Amino acid sequence: MTQEDPLTAGLNPQQREAVTFPDQNVLVLAGAGSGKTRVLTSRIAWLIREGRARPSGILAVTFTNKASREMLERIERQMPGVSTRGMWVGTFHGLCNRLLRVHAAEAGLQPSFQIIDQADQLSVVKRVMKAAGVGKETIEPRAVQSYISRMKEEGLRASEVKGPDMHTANAAVALQLYRAYERLCVEEGIVDFAELLLRSYELLQRNELIRRHYEQRFSHILVDEFQDTNVLQYRWLKTLAGYGRGPEREEGAANTIFAVGDDDQSIYAFRGANVGNMDDFRRELGVRKVIRLEQNYRSTGHILGAANALIGCNTKRLGKNLWTDAGEGSRIQVMPCPSGEAEARFVAEEIESGHSRGRSYRDFAVLYRSNAQSRAIESVLMAGGIPYRIYGGHRFFERAHVKDVLAYLRLVENPSDNTAFLRAVNTPARGVGAKTLEKLDETARAADLSLMGAVSEMKGAAASKLRGFGELVMGIRRAASGRSLTDLVRIVLERSTLKGYYEDLDRREKTAKAEDLSEIVNAAAAFLKSADIDPEADAMEPRGEDELSPLSSFLALATLEAGDNQAGAEADAVQLMTVHAAKGLEFPVVFITGLEENLFPHVSSLREGGQAGREEERRLMYVAITRAKRELYLTYAARRFINGTYQNEQQSSFLDEIPREHLSWRRSPAGLSEEAEAWGEGGGRRNAASGRGGWSGRRGSDEDSGQERTSYGYSWRPRGADSSYNGSKSEPLLKKRTEAGWSAGQHVRHPKFGKGVVISVSGSGDLTKVQVAFAGAGVKQLLASMAKLEKI
């Protein structure tokens, strides 16, 4: 009898075929819970065990940070004893950040470039508008922001945009602002989310040596949730796979793409995701094999039946049906509630009763369509002493007071970070007025200094406050020397006086901000642990060649993974998140809350997207339902507090699309208002006469990124940015240089790292540094005079 292979044991034949498929481009097209992610991780483990790939030859990409962490954990479990260190597993943004940090100079960036989140991006847009003399009445800053992001997601620089864009009123103005925005970002060394992707795509496109290095390094590229890739992400993947320069594959490229996806779960069309990428992938990369998986291993019968029926209402589908042999399970419980608060109480009570019957808190997930809904649920859970954790949503590192602390940390890392300077200089208030800052800016410009650098040049009364601030930051830097990251955060909290400031505020205004500040220390500790960094390591010392200091890595992560403060990740807590953030995850018990017409489906999709918008919302509902393994609750409220007033709600049309046999309607608890009683019960009864009552205008955007910062009402140009980057298409970013006999393109051999190619040369004389891409050891930065490099 042959022994069963532990990596493929228990897989069905289609799954096994996918895991062990020969090295070709493959598409796995299958519904929710059919094992796509499991197949993808098993394939990685299998490739490595079979010697078909080295860990450093694996690049695996997915959509959320939580999903990418879970992916890495699954891989580690499947190949005990094998290190996953050399693998690149992460989100598109995370991987692009990594690429740009290694090749900052070639990409025209400072190595310590700062990533800005959406709220910061909006302030930058406002500054650009101010400087250009364009007011809100001409074009909304948010419209400019989304225009810029959309252009970048389509891979278009301002210089490449042709003709008017029909989606944006005032397209010509938007374009002009886009151009100015690009300039400012380059000058200030800041990079927004879309820029991460675009810039690393351009780097790969233009720099042949770097492209070829990665083409050869990543023998296997694996993509989860492929249906949600946008045009640029798809092109980025194609480039890495050797198809980036035209229809013909680049000579020598021998890697393959393994993509898994589900067209029914495409939920990012509003951000430019393109399901058509699946077809293009098959056509352009000559995919000969599409593997379909049809058995669902996640959910019980009623849950799956509801999901199948609901998604069956969509017309644009590739078409597939899922089955399960897990039995019918319990019916889906539908609970009408008189108000949003009552809904929250119901959820909390069900969780508490499940917990008292032996379930862990972490078995429960509460999902909502829009971030604003979390507040009511949070307050009931908090009052009931039920531990919970929010993923995504009102993101931890995006909270204004948390960003204040990060601004100090950014200044400690890089005193010439002007954005951080402007944020920190008056938080807490130091009486530095706008006039003084304007003067400071003038001085800085004249002397070609950063704002911090110009502080010592200032004269007069106002100058002493500025100098005090400068000394404070420098004092923190000195105090932090040799100290760990967690110590550094503590030092910042104390010396900046932010801690005391927020404690006072909490006392006066009953907020709980100081707690969040202490949480940053925990977040830093959790980060060190997850990144496998010695908790005592010097916060400001780079950890080795091509590695960032713990502080820089932490700061990059804080922006990229804004919602995912890792502290307490293992704690037993109820999980709260938007439906978008739940993609790819699964939980024993799921509550889908706010099932009201215009909330879910959301009014913005219905208004702007018409039928296509409704179909996208339906896919989102399909994603939500299929997260549940054993029990599913659908809840809605007759009245909900929205935009400051109570609004009458109608139950979601999605409830009508689920066959009654899967549902079990609960009665509202006794003592509710008559209106709610009459309205809520009876399975799918809709009050047609009342119409879509109660909607006064548009709901707050579900993408609202929270509080904004004041932007300063004058324009300024910080220094220090690399201006060699001109965004033009044809000029290669890498300029070949010959110094001390070294030049880019030179083939070399190193006693330890083996064969490689020089990709850049900098410095001169004894201090000449060469960056070499080694076939087996990745990219290294070496001091030419010391490294035993041999030309070959």
Q: What residues are annotated to the active site?
A: 36-37, 224-225, 265, 627
Q: Which is nearer to ligand ATP, 291 or 425 (CB)?
A: 291
Closest distance of CB 296 from Mg ion, Å: 12
Q: Consult the annotation and say whether 261 binds a ligand.
A: no
Q: Which is nearer to ligand ATP, 5 or 160 (CB)?
A: 5
Closest distance of CB 388 from ligand ATP, Å: 23
Q: Which is nearer to ligand ATP, 38 or 103 (CB)?
A: 38
**Residue 749 · residue 739 · CB < 8 Å:** no
Question: With DSSP H G I counted as helix, E B as strand and the rest as coil, what are the percentages for the chain, rounded to 5?
Answer: 45, 15, 40
CA of 80: how far to CAs of 18, 58, 75, in Å?
22, 17, 9
Give the closest residue to 400 by CA, choosing from 425, 434, 423, 374.
423
368: CB partners within 8 A, 6+ apart: 374, 377, 576, 577, 578, 579, 592, 593, 594
38 binds, options ligand ATP, Mg ion, none, Cβ within 5 to 8 A by partner type: ligand ATP
Calpha distance 109→107 (Å, rounded): 6
- Looking at the DSSP bridge assignments, the partners of residue 646 are 641
Which residue in this structure is represented by tokens 């990124």?
705
Q: Which is nearer to ligand ATP, 120 or 225 (CB)?
A: 225
Q: Consult the annotation and say whether 37 binds a ligand.
A: yes
Closest distance of CB 317 from ligand ATP, Å: 15
Calpha distance 495→702 (Å, rounded): 37
Q: Consult the annotation and say whether 34 binds a ligand.
A: yes
Calpha distance 788→773 (Å, rounded): 15
Closest distance of CB 626 from ligand ATP, Å: 6
35 binds, options Mg ion, ligand ATP, none, Cβ within 5 to 8 A by partner type: ligand ATP
In angstroms and rounded to an integer, the radius of gyration of the C-alpha atoms of the chain is: 27
- Give the type of residue at 77: R
Calpha distance 361→349 (Å, rounded): 12
269 DSSP 8-state letter: G
297 binds, options ligand ATP, Mg ion, none, Cβ within 5 to 8 A by partner type: ligand ATP
Cis previous bond, 535, omega within 30: no
Calpha distance 742→265 (Å, rounded): 51
Closest distance of CB 268 from ligand ATP, Å: 14
**Residue 355 · residue 65 · CB < 8 Å:** no
Q: Which is nearer to Mg ion, 37 or 668 (CB)?
A: 37
Cis previous bond, 428, omega within 30: yes
Q: Which is nearer to ligand ATP, 125 or 585 (CB)?
A: 585
Closest distance of CB 321 from ligand ATP, Å: 14
- Give the type of residue at 210: I
Calpha distance 621→638 (Å, rounded): 20
733: CB partners within 8 A, 6+ apart: 106, 107, 108, 202, 203, 206, 207, 725
Q: Which is nearer to Mg ion, 37 or 42 (CB)?
A: 37
- Could you give the residue ranges of the DSSP H alpha helices within 399-546? 400-413, 418-424, 434-447, 451-454, 461-480, 485-495, 498-509, 513-530
762 binds, options ligand ATP, Mg ion, none, Cβ within 5 to 8 A by partner type: none
Closest distance of CB 187 from ligand ATP, Å: 42
Structure tokens given for 356 = 């008292």
> Which positions lie near Mg ion, rule CB under 5 A?
36-37, 584
630 DSSP 8-state letter: E
Give, in degrees to the nearest 5, the angle at Cα 92 between 702 and 224. Answer: 90
Q: Consult the annotation and say whether 30 binds a ligand.
A: yes
> Which positions lie near ligand ATP, rule CB under 6 A?
10-12, 15, 30, 32-38, 262, 265, 297-298, 584, 586, 626
What residue ranges in 643-717 does DSSP mark as E strands? Answer: 645-648, 663-665
Give the closest residue to 335 by CA, choosing from 688, 672, 693, 695.
672
216: CB partners within 8 A, 6+ apart: 252, 253, 254, 255, 775
Give the closest residue to 25 by CA, choosing from 237, 253, 236, 285.
285
Q: Which is nearer to ligand ATP, 10 or 500 (CB)?
A: 10
15 binds, options ligand ATP, Mg ion, none, Cβ within 5 to 8 A by partner type: ligand ATP
Closest distance of CB 241 from ligand ATP, Å: 22
Q: Consult the annotation and say whether 475 binds a ligand.
A: no
Q: Consult the annotation and say whether 459 binds a ligand.
A: no
Closest distance of CB 392 from Mg ion, Å: 17
Q: Which is nearer to ligand ATP, 163 or 319 (CB)?
A: 319
**Residue 400 · residue 707 · CB < 8 Å:** yes
Helix (H) or strand (E) holding 585: none
Which residue positions form the known binding site? 30-37
Which residue positions form the known binding site for ATP? 30-37
